[in-house]
Structure 1
Amino acid sequence: MNFFVQKIVLGVVALGFVAAVTESCAPRPPYRTPIPPAVSRPPEAPTLPPPPPPPAQESVRQPLPQESKIREQDLKTKGPVTPPGGKEPSKDANIGETRTSPEAVGQPLPDDSSLLAKITPGIPPQRAASLRLTEEGRKLLDAGDPGKALSRLEKTIVVDSTNPYGYFFLAKAHYRLGRYKESLNFLDVAESRLSEEPFWLAEVHALRGENFRALGMPQKAEASYAQALRLNSGNRTAMEALSRLQAEGSSNPR
């Protein structure tokens, strides 16, 4: 019995050995290198074509329509329009016309030559004293003593430097003394202070004409006389002087 068990055990061992040898000797498939897994990449964006270059700007401006140029040239070439039946304005308009038309002569103004009448109760004391000195200087001028009148009139400006009548009669005293340029200087000051008084402004223009006439400037003198008459047709100085100049011009034609 033991012998029989031993054979069975030996048979089992032999079968296990044979099976092991058979398995080890069986053919095996050839060795292959494993393929690495593919790396997933994000899909590439489609490449767009480059945008076309912007159109080049024109460096030269487009010329204006020819019609506008022609119109501008026409405006430049056209001269001043002369009114129907009228004459072309003179180039020497600043000198004054040689004849004063009746339309250019103003109405005669009431006499406002009294300086003492300007001394009213509300007038400042300095102005009142200056006006009295001015009246005294005028009387000396009328008496034919311009030198003494000048010294008296200079005091009027010392007392009240804003007295316009003092400047006017100072100009008149210098004119009587033959100092025509000094007279014109004082007349400029008087004119700036008498712009609101047409009667006295006409006196200023008339005396200015006298200075221009004495300086040998008849055209400027005539223009000043005409301006005086435009302000006051009753200005005797301008009226007589203008008539005299026009008579001299007609007797001595240029």
Structure 2
Amino acid sequence: MRRAARAGCHRAVRRLIGQAEMVRTLITRYGRVGALLWGIASCAPQPSYRPAAPPAQRTPPAPPAPAPAAPAKPNLPSDGKIREQDIGSRAPALPPGASGSKETGRAPSSSERSSGAEMAPVLPPPLPDDSSLLAKITPSTPAQRAASLRLTDEGRKILEAGDPGKALARLEKTIIIDSTNPYGYFYLAKAQYRMGRFRESLNFLDIAESRLGNEPFWLAEIHALRGDNYRALGQLQRAEASYNQALRLNSGNRAAAEALTRTPTEAPAVPAQPK
């Protein structure tokens, strides 16, 4: 205890000695004003001594949360081509009753084609009968045309009676009188067909068609007779096309309609073609 008091006295003495030396130094340098200022500063209350607080310990920040894992990408082929099994796995489900085979792009069978062929398009209504040649003779008809039409009508009657040779002679006179008479060429073609001269019949039909382009009733008659000639020559596809064209022009053409219902072996009976 005494030792501590003695040490405190020694410290106080050293402090006083140091202050005296400080006053002497200030007087020497700054005069009495400096010593006065020092004295005022030394007499100011000193803050009580407080021990320094220990440094605060910072808690380390929590580690960041791991980033969510990226969604898995689909396993696509590296060459950019879609595999056949991928297409099968991603194809939409077929409706009930549909076939999943690869026959969707196949050609239709013969039975399917025949069933489709039976679905014929809707034909226009039949044309009025325009077969009368005498009805075409009017007061304004030239005499030459009127005479040719009368001879054509006589040749038609002879032909329907079953004498194509005699009808042919009469019909040839109609062309001599009026070479522009298209009905004369048509019945000449019909007489040649009845006589088995199918090529000659086709030639007369071409002439008649070129002069009857504005009369659908007679154009249908021409196509029907042309079909009979092709059928007699064995050209069945061309015959069928001619019959169909006749029905498109006039759905009431009985010759074409009946010809389409016959089988290829049921061609109409005609005289044998002369050699």
Whether these two folds match at TM > 0.5 is yes
Q: 1:245 to 1:222 in 2, by over 3 A?
A: farther
Question: Would you say the 8 A contact 2:137–2:146 is kept in 1?
Answer: yes
Alignment-derived partner of residue 160 in structure 1 = 178
Give yes or no for the alignment of 1:188 onto 2:184. no
Tell me by how many angstroms 1:220 deviates: 0.5
Q: Provide Cα deviations, 1:164-220, integer angstroms capped at 9, x if missing partner.
A: 000000000000000000000000000010110000000000000000000001110
CA distance in 1: counterparts of 2:118 and 2:249, whole angstroms: 13
Q: 1:232 to 1:180 in 2, by over 3 A?
A: same
Q: Return the match for 1:205 from 200, 218, 223.
A: 223
Q: 1:211 to 1:99 in 2, by over 3 A?
A: farther
Q: Return the match for 2:195 from 159, 174, 177.
A: 177
CA distance in 1: counterparts of 2:263 and 2:202, whole angstroms: 20
Alignment-derived partner of residue 94 in structure 1 = none
Question: Secondary structure of the residue that 1:102 maps to in structure 2?
Answer: coil
State percent identity of aligned pairs. Answer: 73
CA distance in 2: counterparts of 1:101 and 1:247, whole angstroms: 24
CA distance in 2: counterparts of 1:164 and 1:224, whole angstroms: 19
Question: Would you say the 8 A contact 1:99–1:246 is kept in 2?
Answer: no
Give yes or no for the alignment of 1:235 onto 2:253. yes
Question: Would you say the 8 A contact 2:236–2:264 is kept in 1?
Answer: no
Tell me by how many angstroms 1:247 deviates: 9.7
Alignment-derived partner of residue 108 in structure 1 = 126
C-alpha RMSD of the superposition:
2.1
CA distance in 2: counterparts of 1:100 and 1:119, whole angstroms: 42
Alignment-derived partner of residue 9 in structure 2 = none
Q: Return the match for 1:214 from 229, 232, 236.
A: 232
Given residue 154 of structure 1, which amino acid in structure 2 is its aligned partner?
E
Q: Return the match for 1:135 from 143, 146, 153.
A: 153
Structure label with greater radius of gyration: 2
Aligned residues: 153
Instruction: Give 5+ residue unaligned stretches, structure 2.
Output: 1-106, 108-115, 267-275
Q: 1:203 to 1:241 in 2, by over 3 A?
A: same
Question: Secondary structure of the residue that 1:233 maps to in structure 2?
Answer: coil
